[in-house]
Structure 1
Amino acid sequence: MTIDSHQHLWRIGQNGHEWPTPDLSVIHRDFVPDDLATACEGLDITGTVLVQSQPADADTDWMLAVAATTPLIKGVVGWADLAAPDAPQRIARLAQQPKLKGLRPMLQGLAQEDWILRDDVQPALEAIIAHGLTFDALVYTRHLPFIGQLARRYTDLRIVIDHGAKPPLGDPDGMKRWREEMAKVALHGTVSCKLSGLLTEMADGQAEDVLTPCAEHLLAVFGADRLMWGSDWPVVLLKDSYRHWHDWTLRWLDGKPETAQNAVMGETARRFYKL
């Protein structure tokens, strides 16, 4: 019984849509619950977590409305302007929605690498904690030291690093730093990680063999109880199919303890997001 901890839906030109852009023709179209059901056909997917893709309140409100009528979607990770003066009030209203599980500022696109530590963001973070919500960190390697500082500052904040912090596959020096920084941030027991998005970090023509050391490192430093599988669908379509990434993960897990397999493929996400 698999939980997909990371998938998206969007409508082009609606709900504050900014991305994907037309140059990404494979995914530049509407993706709605019927498309998700089709992508999951034949797989043992018992629930998903719908994650924001647009930095817009309208996107979050739409996702919550969709999730309310889609049983497969067990939780929503939305967006809020954490630096806004009324952010705590907005978060309080969102938290009243039963399927709202967490929030995700799009840190990877912000010019200030330590943005999340800014004074004007702290009331929103305190509201996230107060309402029992989680924090999805969409980051690169360079952001990880600041996520570590965040974890030290707020020991009650449940953080998950999306897409393994997007390892720079094919860059030996970059991968060395990625391994080191991931190991450091994993020392914080409140930080978890998603095994997601790795396929789309591969360069064209790069062999999938490069993914195995990444997955092994994440499992080694976080442990299965803090590592959760996610499809990153439909973004994964830029490289392959939902099924392809699902089956790759199962092959990688084959031979590992059953408890580890169950954790990565569902139990960790179920516990983290309180599904």
Structure 2
Amino acid sequence: MLIDAHCHVWRIGQNGHEWPTPDLAAIYRDFDLRNLEQDSKLYDLSGVILVQSQPSERDTGWLLELAAADPLALGVVGWTDLAAPDAPDRIATLARDPWLKGLRPMLQDLASDWILDPKLAPAIAAIIAADLPFDALVKPRHLPAMLELLRRWPDLRIVIDHGAKPEIAAGRLDPWREEMAALAAEPGVHCKLSGLLTEAGDRPTAQAVEPYARHLIEVFGPDRLMWGSDWPVLNLAGDYPSWRAMCEAWAPSEQHAALFGETARRFYRL
């Protein structure tokens, strides 16, 4: 079983598209699941989790339609505005779609403590009530707030996307290393081994990324770490086979079944 726990599809100019922008020439075009099948043809994909790429419910609605029609898509991590007055109702409505497997508010461009605003409490309570995972698209500056969020809402099922995007290009391990270990010490917190190559700047090599990947493998272990390609964003720094091969080399073989499929299947209740 191979489940890609994090990939994207988009249509330029449609479904609330805002990103990628034309300056990112390698990915500024339409991508669909047939393109993914071509790029991952060396592997027999059991399925993928489609993750929203736009802060738009139109994008989420389109992804849900794709998932319902395409057997490669096992589910969708969508978006809704958690700060909207009717956010609890929107969350409840989205949760009734069987293909919705989680929500992602795209915290990376928001204030580091935005998620702790008391005004968001009804939305977070609604996510928990719907038993939906919370995909945390964060950067290292958000990690203290994520730890506080977990302590306020211990029933919130959180997965940290892309290892919290460590500052690999700068070669900076700390305080990211200690803060990720503190998060991993909280029961139930999961993480995605994904998106690291694109954080390595002008040297997206195995040597640059390895210390960060190995730390995630060590502190989360195979039962709380899941592999994702972050395709097609991955194409900015590498390709599908090379990223998969790197992760296979870093993780002990006895962890592969969990890392490359079982943990995602269980966490997203596929």
> In which range does the TM-score fall when normalised by the shorter chain?
over 0.9
Q: Secondary structure at the match of 1:64?
A: helix
Q: Deviations over 1:134-182 (max 9, x none)?
A: 000001111011111111111111100000011111435x311110111
Q: Secondary structure at the match of 2:134?
A: strand
Identity %: 58
The two structures have a TM-score, normalised by structure 2, of 0.97
Q: How far is 1:207 from its partner?
A: 3.7
**Structure 1 counterpart of 2:109:** 109
**Structure 1 counterpart of 2:136:** 137
Q: Is the 8 A contact 1:227 1:268 kept in 2?
A: yes
**Structure 2 counterpart of 1:38:** 38
**Structure 1 counterpart of 2:27:** 27
Q: Deviations over 1:207-235 (max 9, x none)?
A: 42121111111111111111000000000
**Structure 1 counterpart of 2:84:** 84
Q: How far is 1:99 from its partner?
A: 1.1
Q: Secondary structure at the match of 1:4?
A: strand
1:161 is aligned with what amino acid? I
Q: Deviations over 1:231-274 (max 9, x none)?
A: 00000000111122112211222xx252x211111111111100
Q: Secondary structure at the match of 1:35?
A: helix
CA distance, structure 2, for counterparts of residue 218 and residue 206 of structure 1: 18
CA distance, structure 1, for counterparts of residue 153 and residue 101 of structure 2: 18
CA distance, structure 1, for counterparts of residue 249 and residue 67 of structure 2: 31
> Unmatched 5+ residue regions in structure 2?
none
Q: Is the 8 A contact 2:104 2:137 kept in 1?
A: yes
**Structure 1 counterpart of 2:221:** 223
CA distance, structure 2, for counterparts of residue 104 and residue 222 of structure 1: 21
Q: Secondary structure at the match of 1:45?
A: coil
1:148 is aligned with what amino acid? L
**Structure 1 counterpart of 2:191:** 193
Figure out how many residues of one structure are paired with residues of the other and give that number.
270
**Structure 2 counterpart of 1:267:** 262
CA distance, structure 1, for counterparts of residue 33 and residue 209 of structure 2: 29
Q: How far is 1:191 from its partner?
A: 1.1
Q: Aligned in 2, Cα 1:206/1:247: closer, same or farther, shift over 3 Å?
A: closer
Q: Is the 8 A contact 2:10 2:17 kept in 1?
A: yes
> Unmatched 5+ residue regions in structure 1?
none
Q: Secondary structure at the match of 1:75?
A: strand
The two structures have a TM-score, normalised by structure 1, of 0.95
**Structure 2 counterpart of 1:233:** 231
Q: How far is 1:58 from its partner?
A: 0.4
1:78 is aligned with what amino acid? G
**Structure 2 counterpart of 1:159:** 158
CA distance, structure 2, for counterparts of residue 6 and residue 231 of structure 1: 6
CA distance, structure 2, for counterparts of residue 226 and residue 56 of structure 1: 29
Q: Is the 8 A contact 2:7 2:228 kept in 1?
A: yes
CA distance, structure 1, for counterparts of residue 188 and residue 120 of structure 2: 20
Q: How far is 1:88 from its partner?
A: 0.7
Q: Deviations over 1:4-40 (max 9, x none)?
A: 0000011100111000000001100011122122222
Q: Deviations over 1:29-77 (max 9, x none)?
A: 0111221222222302101100000000100000000111011110100
Q: Aligned in 2, Cα 1:197/1:84: closer, same or farther, shift over 3 Å?
A: same
**Structure 2 counterpart of 1:176:** 174
CA distance, structure 1, for counterparts of residue 246 and residue 259 of structure 2: 13
Q: Is the 8 A contact 1:151 1:190 kept in 2?
A: no
Q: Is the 8 A contact 1:49 1:74 kept in 2?
A: yes
Q: Aligned in 2, Cα 1:43/1:257: closer, same or farther, shift over 3 Å?
A: closer
Q: Aligned in 2, Cα 1:75/1:203: closer, same or farther, shift over 3 Å?
A: same
